[in-house]
Amino acid sequence: MLEQTLRHHYQKILVDPLVRTLNQRITPQTITWLSGCFGLAFIPALCQGYNTLAIALLLLSGYCDTLDGSLARHQHQSSPMGSVLDIMMDRLVEFAVVFALYWVNPERALAIILMLGSMLLCITSFLVVGIFSQNESHKSFHYSPGLMERVEAFCFFIAMVLLPHWFNGLAAVFTALVCLTAVIRLMQFARADAHFRSQSNPLP
């Protein structure tokens, strides 16, 4: 939701200038791997109590996640393998964050399990809808926007780091919104599918 509102300005100010500077100096997949490495580094940073560093690493990971696709399109190197690696690194980073949030306080186990479950359902809805939908975006696959996307998720993760006493409440809201995102996506797909079928098989 926020990404759809802010992406144009963010892209123009923070991404495009670096894409032009990097040009052919580095491959998009290298940036994707960096995104995963920054995300994994979140774990020791948070577990050692370096909250500011952990947040900075998370933001760097998110920045690399937006940079790699833009660089791939600039270099005309967009590929299915790049898309697969991008999705895998996204999930790796999200797991790393949730694992670290659990590790610093194991009493959060139930809330963490519910968060992971909601994320599993949401990404499944995203991927399955993508399989059966025509790609009309600039990405290599059909991108189905939703109520909770990476920007919103990262905002919640940062809030959980900065406000540990509010963790359970934040986790409950996060879980509910992620599940709602999956439900809305499925409902939208069901309506689109019903419309397509009605157009393909009009009543006599």
> What pLDDT score does 204 carry?
54
User: pTM of this prediction?
Assistant: 0.87
The pLDDT of residue 104: 98
Dihedral sign computed on CA atoms, order 36, 147, 112, 173: positive
- Residue 114: in which H helix or E strand, if any? helix 109-131
Nearest to 119 by CA among 157, 80, 65: 157
pLDDT means per 10 residues in the chain (204 residues)?
77 90 89 98 98 98 94 90 93 98 98 97 89 62 70 96 98 97 90 77 57
pLDDT at 157: 98
